[in-house]
């Protein structure tokens, strides 16, 4: 069983296939964290020796010995103002002015299956899943905190969240409500987080955990381009293949906050949850607040082991059920081909050209609605532009489907323009502060999705759109983030709830639409990768990775994303050259190699391609269809060259290890004839592998004298050598299979 309680030692131990997580009810009833790491059955209380630490106060009942303080004890859920000066998980103020909480165990239960979180996305349970509930209480305020743990034995995952209940007699204001607290008692650790900006998202940075507080956070109402909520604590000697790593991933898409503190005793505490900077929530007596769920995984197999665990778990338990069971269509998006300048005939011509290349889905992007000729107007007026599409969407969709293509549509439901019929009719539906000129992004405001009437209007609008037209794909965009956090539907004491209610409203709207239209493929987008997180995956099985489609930039963006998120969730497109964002020129073949990391498509005008380029696109699409099952279901490896070469390389390996695809791109020209040398990973050392095909792009083609077969051991340990590849951003793909 994945959870056991030892009444003698008062320990609760959660076990998965290769890890153990242990806590203990302390001498005064506090829930103490003892251990999280490789599988073990011991009681780890011996790690915490009694000691008197100056200026770490003692509970009244233990004042005589002075060897026990909440300031030095590891805790499962820390609270402020009761003797622990480190990071707190819970902060509130009651109407009577009481703050802080002395949380002590009241009860616990162990049950089969996985708890549910109504109104919030969370991981689905499975046959080997167990739930632990531990309720803590504070006698002075009546506050209770129910800690929920989901244990996935086979997958090596633990999920955590908290329910805070006001059991007192007066209202209270929550100011902080974290989902988890994790204390690690000893050792040096490093923090791996993923920073960035619009068009350069999720860049990995690995820094030592300092004798200070380090915070990864977003105050934008979105998980953001700037700081992704996924973080890793890893040992300093951890590499891709070996070393201790702890991954923490909130299933949450709004403002977030993960802080890490190394204390005076050398212990490390990580607290993760909703961003507290602009958050408050009023709890009346008897009411409960539910925090989002956070995924927790330990790996002793380095960063690759941790990444692959997250990839499998997100595919199996977080993404909408069945989302990755079917092939993804190859699509062409109209944006970079036409921007706002199009009509029925030009889009039909684009569709015909795309069909001739082998594309399966034509997506009409921004500009199809209202009087939308630029990004300054009409957002929210979700009816076809009568000048561009005089017959509406219906005739255009009919003509495109007659070509044998499916039809997709870009929408931005969460936003509205001030110059729109929607804003003129309902100015109070926008998030704006009374008496203050609103901030605008892309000349648009944000709808107050915390209001039920706003959500109902959006649901009815897009329900009608999808019911009336055979649309198989929706690209759901959001091109600004939250700033003017004021809702005209909330009283003054609840204005701090606006951002949180916005996300709850968005989840509710998406749940209704995805349930009503299960066969529509919804792709998420937020100005590119501004909301690429686990909270979106239950609704958007693929997310636009970045507005930057330059392949060299995308190498870094997609590599950073892969540390936590499965490549199949990344929407990756081949775009025109020179690139519209960076101005960089690159070979068409290299653009295809990079885009084949995830859900594959195009962002260009086929009419602008030469005949040779059109033939290359046809080959790319044929090759992608052959590789799609491997890219969707295979294990992903980040490869590092053994020499100091400007080389990016990655590998997909099928679950049965019988097939592998190696991809590589040179991002600079090495000075001299240095061969490309890589050790492959994930193969069966006893198997015999045969090269099925090799394609090289952007460099002179030359014969390569390879053996007829390699053993898996040879490719793993001896490696593979390719001849030098001169040129600008050359690339290669090699597909290997075992003998039948």
Residue 160 CA to residue 147 CA, distance in Å, equals: 7
- Which of 533, 547, 550, 603 is the catalytic position? 533
Please work out, in degrees rounded to the nearest 5, the angle formed at the alpha carbon of residue 337 by the alpha carbons of 335 and 340. 55
Alpha helices per DSSP H over 584-610? 588-595
Residue 176 CA to residue 281 CA, distance in Å, equals: 9
CA–centroid distance for 231 within its chain: 11
Residue 349 CA to residue 423 CA, distance in Å, equals: 34
**Of 231, 228, 233, nearest in space to 195 by CA:** 228
Residue 607 CA to residue 254 CA, distance in Å, equals: 41
Residue 437 CA to residue 427 CA, distance in Å, equals: 13
Residue 465 CA to residue 459 CA, distance in Å, equals: 10
Alpha helices per DSSP H over 606-738? 611-633, 712-713
Q: What residue has token string 């109209």?
A: 334
DSSP annotation of 442 reads T
Residue 343 CA to residue 350 CA, distance in Å, equals: 11
Is residue 613 part of the annotated active site? The answer reads: yes
- Which of 95, 613, 684, 728 is the catalytic position? 613
First to last CA, the chain: 40
**Of 257, 727, 280, 199, nearest in space to 501 by CA:** 280
Residue 442 CA to residue 431 CA, distance in Å, equals: 15
Is residue 156 part of the annotated active site? The answer reads: no
Residue 511 CA to residue 535 CA, distance in Å, equals: 12
Give the relative orientation of helices 344-357 and 393-402 as an angle to the nearest 10 degrees. 20
**What would the two tokens of residue 500 be?**
């949180």
User: Active-site positions?
Assistant: 533, 613
């Amino acid at each position: 069983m994945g959870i056991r309680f030892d009444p003698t030692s008062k320990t609760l131990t959660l076990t998965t296939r290769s890890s153990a997580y242990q806590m203990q009810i302390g001498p005064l009833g506090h829930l103490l964290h003892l251990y999280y790491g490789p599988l073990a059955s011991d009681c780890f209380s011996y790690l915490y020796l009694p000691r008197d630490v100056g200026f770490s106060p003692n509970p009244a009942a233990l004042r005589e010995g002075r060897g026990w303080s909440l300031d030095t004890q590891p805790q499962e859920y820390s609270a402020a103002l009761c003797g622990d000066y480190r990071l707190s998980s819970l902060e509130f103020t009651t109407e009577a002015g009481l703050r802080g909480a002395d949380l002590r165990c009241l009860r616990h239960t162990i049950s089969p299956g996985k708890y549910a979180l109504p109104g919030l996305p969370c991981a689905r349970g499975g046959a080997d899943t167990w739930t632990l509930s531990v309720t803590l209480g504070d006698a002075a305020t009546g506050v209770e905190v129910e800690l929920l743990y989901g244990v996935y034995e086979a997958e090596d995952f633990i999920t955590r969240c908290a329910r805070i209940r006001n059991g007192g007699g007066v209202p209270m204001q929550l100011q902080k409500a974290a989902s988890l607290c994790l204390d690690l008692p000893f050792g040096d650790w490093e923090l791996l987080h993923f920073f960035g900006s619009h068009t350069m998202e999720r860049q990995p940075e690995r820094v030592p955990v300092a004798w200070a507080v380090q915070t990864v956070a977003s105050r934008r109402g979105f998980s953001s381009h700037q700081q992704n909520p996924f973080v890793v604590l890893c040992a300093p000697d951890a590499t891709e293949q070996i070393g201790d790593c702890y991954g923490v991933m909130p299933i949450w898409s709004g403002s977030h906050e993960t802080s890490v503190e190394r204390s005076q005793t050398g212990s490390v505490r990580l607290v993760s949850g909703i961003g507290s900077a602009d958050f408050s929530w009023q709890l009346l007596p008897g009411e409960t607040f539910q925090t989002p769920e956070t995924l927790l995984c330990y790996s002793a197999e380095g960063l690759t082991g941790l990444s692959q665990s997250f990839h499998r778990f997100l595919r199996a338990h977080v993404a909408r059920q069945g989302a990755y069971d079917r092939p993804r269509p190859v699509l062409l998006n109209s944006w970079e081909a036409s921007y706002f300048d199009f009509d029925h005939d030009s889009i039909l011509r684009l569709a015909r050209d795309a069909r001739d290349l082998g594309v399966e889905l034509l997506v009409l992007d921004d500009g199809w609605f209202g009087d939308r000729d630029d990004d300054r107007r009409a957002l929210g007026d979700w009816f076809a532009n009568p000048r561009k599409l005089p017959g509406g969407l219906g005739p255009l969709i009919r003509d495109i489907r007659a070509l044998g293509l499916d039809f997709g549509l870009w929408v931005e439901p969460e936003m509205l323009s001030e110059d729109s019929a929607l804003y003129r009719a309902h100015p109070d539906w926008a998030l704006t502060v009374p008496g203050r000129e609103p901030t605008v992004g892309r000349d648009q405001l944000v709808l107050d999705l915390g209001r039920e009437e706003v959500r109902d209007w959006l649901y009815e609008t897009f329900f009608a759109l999808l019911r009336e037209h055979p649309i198989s794909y929706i690209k759901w965009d959001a091109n600004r983030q939250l700033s003017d956090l004021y809702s005209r539907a909330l009283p003054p004491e609840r204005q701090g709830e606006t951002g949180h209610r916005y996300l709850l409203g968005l989840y509710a709207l998406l749940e209704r639409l995805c349930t009503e239209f299960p066969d529509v493929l919804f792709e998420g987008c937020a100005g590119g990768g501004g909301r690429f997180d686990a909270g979106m995956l239950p609704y958007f099985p693929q997310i636009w990775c970045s507005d930057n489609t330059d392949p060299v930039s995308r190498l870094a963006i997609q590599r950073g994303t892969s540390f936590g998120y499965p490549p199949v969730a990344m929407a990756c497109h081949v775009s025109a050259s020179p690139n519209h964002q960076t101005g960089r020129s690159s070979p068409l073949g290299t653009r295809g190699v990079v885009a084949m990391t995830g859900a594959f498509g195009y962002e260009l005008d086929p009419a602008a391609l030469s005949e040779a380029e059109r033939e290359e696109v046809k080959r790319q699409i044929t090759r992608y269809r052959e590789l799609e099952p491997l890219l969707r279901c295979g294990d992903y490896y980040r490869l590092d060259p053994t020499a100091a070469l400007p080389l990016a390389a990655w590998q997909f390996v099928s679950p049965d290890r019988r097939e592998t695809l190696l991809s590589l791109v040179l991002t600079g020209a090495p000075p001299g004839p240095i061969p490309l040398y890589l050790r492959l990973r994930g193969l069966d050392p006893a198997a015999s592998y045969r090269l099925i095909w090799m394609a090289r792009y952007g460099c002179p083609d030359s014969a390569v004298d390879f053996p007829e077969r390699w053993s898996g051991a040879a490719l793993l340990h001896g490696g593979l050598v390719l001849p030098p590849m001169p040129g600008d951003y050359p690339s290669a793909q090699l597909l290997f299979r075992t003998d039948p």
